[in-house]
Amino acid sequence: MRIVAIVMLAASVAAPAWAGEKPVELKRDAGVDTVEANCAACHSLDYVLMNSPYPGAKLWDSEVAKMIKAFGAPIGEADAKIIADYLKKNYGS
């Protein structure tokens, strides 16, 4: 019972923060639709913006490959190339 009360309290405190969250806007460029459709199916697009100051071309390539091979993202080769190219062009260092 005590745990339920704690969970309910935590949810009521966090709810206003969720309500005010704005959707992530990625840079509008070729491939953005493919990125949004594939990447947002599993995680927030915040990851792109949070990580963007660091990756160069090689790191974005490996991140896309990791999502497919390690996490099982159902992304075909053609879409993987579009995603990697978009990320390198718009969020590469």
85 by DSSP, 3-state: which? helix
The closest alpha carbon to 83, from 42, 10, 19, 32, belongs to 32
16 pLDDT higher than 60: no
The DSSP-derived string for 31-58 is THHHHHHHHTTTS-THHHHHHTTS--HH
Report residue 69's pLDDT band, with 50, 70 and 90 as the boundaries.
very high
- Which two tokens mark 42? 């599993």
21-59 confidence digits (pLDDT tens): 678 899 999 999 999 999 999 999 999 988 878 888 999
Q: Which residue has the tokens 């995603």?
A: 83
Report residue 13's pLDDT band, with 50, 70 and 90 as the boundaries.
low
The CATH-assigned architecture of domain 24-91 is Orthogonal Bundle (1.10)
Q: How far is CA 25 from CA 3, 39, 47, 75, 81, in A?
A: 37, 13, 12, 22, 21
2 pLDDT higher than 80: no
Which residue type occupies 89? K
| Per-residue model confidence (pLDDT) at position 4 | 60
| Per-residue model confidence (pLDDT) at position 40 | 94
3 pLDDT higher than 90: no
